[in-house]
Structure formats: C-alpha cells, structure tokens
Structure 1
Amino acid sequence: MAVVFSTIYNKAIQLALSEGLTKEHLNYYIDYKVENKRVPMELLLEVYELAADKLQAGFGLRQGKQLDTTDYGTLGLSWKTCLKAIDVLNNVKRYMVLVTDDGSIELDASEGKTKLVLNREVYRTGIKTANEASFVMLVGILNEVTGKNIKPIEVNFKHSFSDSDYFSEYFDCPVNFNATENTLVFNSKVLEVSTIKADKFIHQFLLERMEQEKSKLSEQEDVLTSEINKLLKESMASGIPSISQVGDYLGMSARTLKRRLADRNLSFRELIQKNQHETATQLLSNSSQSVGEIAFLTGFSEQSAFNRAFKRWTGQAPNEYRKNL
C-alpha cells in the first residue's frame, strides 16, 4: 500500500478546512488514526479530490506553497544542511521513498540544464494535485534553504489544467500541461549556489541516518509481496486479478506496482506463477481433489494448460507428481 508522511496529509486537511470544506466533509480524514507518521496515499488523494471538486482551482499550488523543510523529517533536515542547491534535488532522488513510495525521481544534467523527472502516473484526479504540490514545494524548498529566488526555466505536467497562467505566475517560467513527462527544468548554474546552513559533517550524519531509515523501510517492504501473495491466493479460484486491479486494491497505479516489484527483481507474472505452483503442489499433496478441480482452483480455465504449466514448474505431470509422493 502506497503511503505518505502524515505532516503533508494534515496540512492538506487544515488548508481545505480554512478554504471552506466543513468538518462533515472531512470528518473521516480528521479522525484517521496515524501510525508510524505515515498514512495511506489513498487518503491524501481523496482529500485532494474533495478539494478539487468543492474548492477554487489550484489547490495543489496552495498546498505546495505551505509545505516546508519541517514537513519532511530527516530528509527536510538534510535539505537545510546541503552544501549546494543541487544536493537538495539529489537527496530527493535518493530518499523520496522516506516521504512517500508513490512514484520516483530521475535527474538528468546536460547542455547546461538540469531536468528533474517525477515518475508518477496520473491514474486519478488526486494525483494531478499531488504532482502540482510536489513541484511547487520543491521550488519553495530551494528558495528556503538558499535564501535565493531560484526559479525553473520550464515546468511540464502530464495532466491537463484549464489555466496554465495560474502556475506560470508562481514559477515565473513557461508551464506546459498535457506534456509527455512531469518535469522541472533548471539552469544548472543556479543550482550551484550554496545553502544558508551548509554543514558538511551534519549533512553526512543525516545521509547515514537516512540510509538506516531506508534500510528499515526495505525490510518492511516484504509486507507488499505478502499482501499480493495473500490476495492472489484468495482470488485464484474465482479468477486471477490483473495488475491494475491489484494496484487499485493497494492504492497505487499498475506502473508503480511494477516498479516496486522490479526493485525486488520480481514481476507480477512471477508472483502469479509462484502462487499457482505452491497452491497446486499443496492440493496435490494434501487433498483428494481431481487434477481438473485443482486446475480450476489455481486459476486455469483448461486442465491441459495446467498440465503444461505444472510440468514446466516441476518436470513432472500432476498425476505423476501425486503418484510419486
């Protein structure tokens, strides 16, 4: 399940309340019990969608403007002590997962320009607001930690928006919607400026701290594959769900789910086959059900397809495997 820092979530709720949403609209979100300083990304997206439906356009801009380094834990502290502005973007790329695991960042520097790419598919309305807020926040953070008026030279969003001038005024550069990528583009020279509280030793300490936090998250990530395996096993007999359906259940896009599995050197198809294999061998070993019934219970519409798959997994036909137990 995709998650996000509770500080970002709480600020979104407070902003929505201040702009006119009532406690009746937000009661469920206000009362949500936060655990480990994180909330499901699904909840933040729902708040964003309520705001998009009932409030003035541009909630993402206003949300991004109110976010600062104090909302981002150890990552926020590292931004303050970075040596240069470019280090802020490098740390976002390396440690975005500490704030949210919905999406990823790429950086590319060439021809005097530095391009930050936000890989996050726009699979629902709330993602549009999240992407807008992320870019507004990043520009604000660069200005906060350097004390300079750092502006991008181009901003691109994959989604549509009715009035690009609304964002152009803030970014002070061309803002394009319906683009092929979500990108912030800077003149590389402006990112070489020093930060106000640059401290090499404290920053190194914070980098080590973030590596530890990232390692703990990686251990917790086993929960993701456990949830997928549980879902696949429970639904196998009624029809194996698609990766999009599993992603919806976990609160993330199919592309994000593919990426998170790829980070573990796994694919969705491999997990399906693993669960089919495990279920099939368990039923052949511990039940009296026919091979045809087991084929159905493991998600195969035809016994012949099951027989071929099982022989590929074990080197034996199902009946042969059962006979040799």
Structure 2
Amino acid sequence: MPAAPVPHSAIFAQLAARHLLTQGFTPAAVFAGTGFGQALLNQEEPAAPFTAIAGFFSRAAELTGDPLFGFRLGCASDLRLAGLLGYIARTSPTAGCFLRNIARYAGVMSDAWDVDTSRLASHGEFAWSCTAASGQQADQYTEFLAALFFSALREAAGTRIEPQEAAFVHQRRRGAEEIAAFFGCPVRFAAPASRIVFKPEDLDLPLASGDRLLLRVLRAFGDQLLHGRGLGRKSTDLTAQVEEAVSARLSGGTASLANVAADLGMSPRTLSRKLARAGTSYFTVLEELRKALAIRYLRESRLPLSEIAFLLGYSGLNSFSEAFRRWTGQSPGQFRGG
C-alpha cells in the first residue's frame, strides 16, 4: 500500500483562496477540482500535499487569466503569514542572515524545498530546487514565494535591493518583463537552476526588524520542530552555523568567540571543543569567511578599502591589509587592480 503524501503548510493556499473570493469568484469556482474545500478558509494551521498547494496556485492563474497570479500575490503579501519561518527571517540582523535562516528553517513549513546558501558568502548565490514537483508544476507557487520573501527583505532593509541576476528553472512565455522590473536585474527562465545572485555589499545590510534575543528563542524552537520532523540534518552542520553567526556580527565588530558561542546557546569552551571534533577551529572559520568575503568585495564591488575593512570587522585598513597579504601575497589594492 503506497504511503500517504506528506502534508505541508497550506497557509498560502488559504491566502490565495481568500484573495480569489474577494475578487468575486464563487466558492464553487475557487475550489472545484483542487482537492480543497471551503473548510480551508477557517483552518488555523491548514496542511495538504505539496502538489495540491502548487496545483491550487496554477488553478488560480487559469481561473483569473493572470499568468503572473502567484508573483503578484507574493508582492502584495505579508511574510508574517509564514508563521515561525517568517518571524525567524524578519528578526535576522542582516540581509545575509535573513537568507541563511530561510535556508535553514524552510523545513518548518515544508520539506519540498532544497535551499542552498553554501555559495552565499563566496558568490552571493541563494539557490533552491523543488523536490516534490517539477519546476513547471510549481511555477506559480515558486514565483509567489520568491516575490514574498524578496519583498520582505527589501522592506526590512529599507532599500530597494537589486541582485546581480535571477533565474528560474521553469519556462515563462508572458510576463517576464514585469518580473525582471521587480527584481531590477536580468531574469532567466528555463535555466539549469533557480537562484538569485546578490551583490556582496547587500548581504551586510542591517534589517530594521532585527532582534538577536528574539531570534535566538525562535531558532531554538525551529530547531526542535525540525528535529521532531526528522529534518534536523539541515541544522546540524556546526561549521555552517558558526559561519552564519559570524557573518551576522562581522560589520559590528562583535564577532568574538564569546558572542558567537552565546548566539549558538553554548559556552566558548564548548563551542571550541565541538569545532575541534569537526576538525576545525573558531579562528579558522573566521579567517576563511573573511577571506572569501574580502575577495568577493574586491572583485564585485566598488566599495572603498576602508569600508571593506569595516564590513569584515577589522579595526582599521592596516589590519585588513596585513591579513589580506597573509592570505594572497598581495595587498587589497594590488588584488583589485590586477
């Protein structure tokens, strides 16, 4: 007997249904053939198979005749509707931390997404793939989520972040220009992978909604939920967690072992011991992250060297220059001009 489909949060299917009803569509038209009924409208924590949720968004696009239904709804929606995941993202201190937390806690809402930030520091790449449906089956829902999270990031940063590029694996015949105008960068469809590539300086933007103390509490709850659902693997890479915590504190000059350990809910001694077991150290993680960020800043931005030194948490340009010579054998100025 085949296993029943795993349920995923259907809060956004509920949002889409309510939106359609306000547009004058009848309940019969909204729910016909979707696997949902009017009971969806009053459920506090609706859940459904991922294919039903993605299919509901596709059905809504057909019903309205709007090929950008998901995208436009995402632009106009509130990230707080995502519950714990939305609040974790909003309380992140920086844009980069916002993106890492989305990747880390996406499983709180659904395990249908494989979100990858392993190249975020070095290449500015935030990538994702849908593991529960083909790209074209989930195109409306994918664009909804991309617009929702990106709009929330801009709002929290208080500026119109414009990435270097964006790409989606699904095809789009109409409306590509509007999506490109929203992102403010070239957008490719039918691409090999879905991703958004951010400018290095944008990842360090502070978020007005950031709250380190609240974030620590929310993340602890999120880790418990992931562990209970058998998804703890996504949050057990200690080196990645340390890198994330360091990234959030670098520009403030507070990325000390003691502060980062406290952010992760442990003592400096415990963190050092666990990192040693993983074959690394706090200093190594800090240095490798600073090196990757420095190279990217110098290659892809026009920031003054003094500003780069500040963003990397150095007390001054001389300290940064000495470290960069140790890493590359060149001064930052020589590397940029070479």
Task: Give the share of equivalent positions with the same residue, in percent.
Answer: 20
The answer to whether 1:44 aligns with 2:53 is yes
Q: Aligned to 1:201, what secondary structure does the other structure show? A: helix
Residue deviations 1:66-100 (CA, integer Å, cap 9, x gap): 33231121222222221111111101111101011
Q: Which residue of 2 aligns with 1:143?
A: 154
Q: Are 2:27 and 1:23 aligned? A: yes
Q: Residue 52 of structure 2 aligns to a residue in which SS?
A: helix
1:61 aligns with 2:65: no
The answer to whether structure 1 residue 158 and structure 2 residue 162 are counterparts is no
Q: Which residue of 2 aligns with 1:248?
A: none
The CA deviation at 1:110 is 6.7
Partner SS, residue 111 of structure 2: coil
Q: Which amino acid is the alignment partner of residue 147 of structure 1?
A: G
Judging changes above 3 Å, is the alpha-carbon distance between structure 1 residues 2 and 20 closer, same or farther for their aligned structure 2 residues? Answer: farther
Question: Could you tell me whether the CA contact under 8 Å between 1:2 and 1:42 is conserved in 2?
Answer: no
* Partner residue in 1 for 2:208: 196
Structure 1 counterpart of 2:282 = none
**Cα deviation code 1:262-298 (max 9, x no counterpart):** xxxxxxxxxxxxxxxxxxxxxxxxxxxxxxxxxxxxx
Q: CA deviation at 1:111?
A: 8.5
Larger radius of gyration: 1
Give the Cα–Cα distance (whole angstroms) in 2 for the partners of residues 195 and 100 of structure 1. 25
1:173, 1:157 → 2: CA distance?
13
Distance 2:76 2:137 in 1: 18
From 109, 118, 121, the counterpart of 1:99? 109
Does the CA-based 8 Å contact 1:139-1:151 persist in structure 2? Answer: no
Instruction: Name structure 2 gaps, 5 residues minimum.
Output: 233-338
Aligned runs of 1:79-228 on 2, under 5 Å? 79-109=89-119, 113-120=123-130, 123=134, 125-163=136-174, 164-218=176-230
Alignment correspondent of 1:7? 11
Give 1:151 deviation, angstroms.
2.3
Moved over 6 A (4+): none
Cα distance between partner residues in 1 of 2:198 and 2:11: 28
Q: Which runs of 5+ in 1 are unaligned?
A: 221-325
Q: Distance in 2 between matches of 1:83 and 1:110?
A: 16
Kept after mapping to 2: 8 A contact 1:9/1:39: no
- Secondary structure at 1:190 match in 2: helix
Q: What amino acid is aligned across from residue 167 of structure 2 in structure 1? A: N
Asked if 1 retains the 8 angstrom alpha-carbon contact of 2:171 and 2:189, the reply is yes
Distance 1:46 1:109 in 2: 31
The letter of the residue matching 2:189 is: F
CA 1:89–1:2 in structure 2 vs 1: closer, same or farther (change >3 Å)?
Answer: farther
Contact 1:48 1:126 in 2 (8 A): no
C-alpha distance 219-97 of structure 1, shift in aligned 2 (>3 A): closer
Once the two structures are superposed, residues 17-66 of structure 1 have per-residue CA deviations (whole angstroms, 9 ceiling, x without a partner) of 34454311224432248485433323322211212322211012112113
Cα 1:64–1:219 shift into 2, 3 Å: closer
CA contact (8 A) 2:13 2:53 kept: yes
The DSSP-based 3-state class of the residue aligned with 2:166 is strand
Instruction: Give aligned pairs, total.
Output: 220
The 8 Å contact of residues 85 and 142 in structure 1, kept in 2 or not, is answered as yes
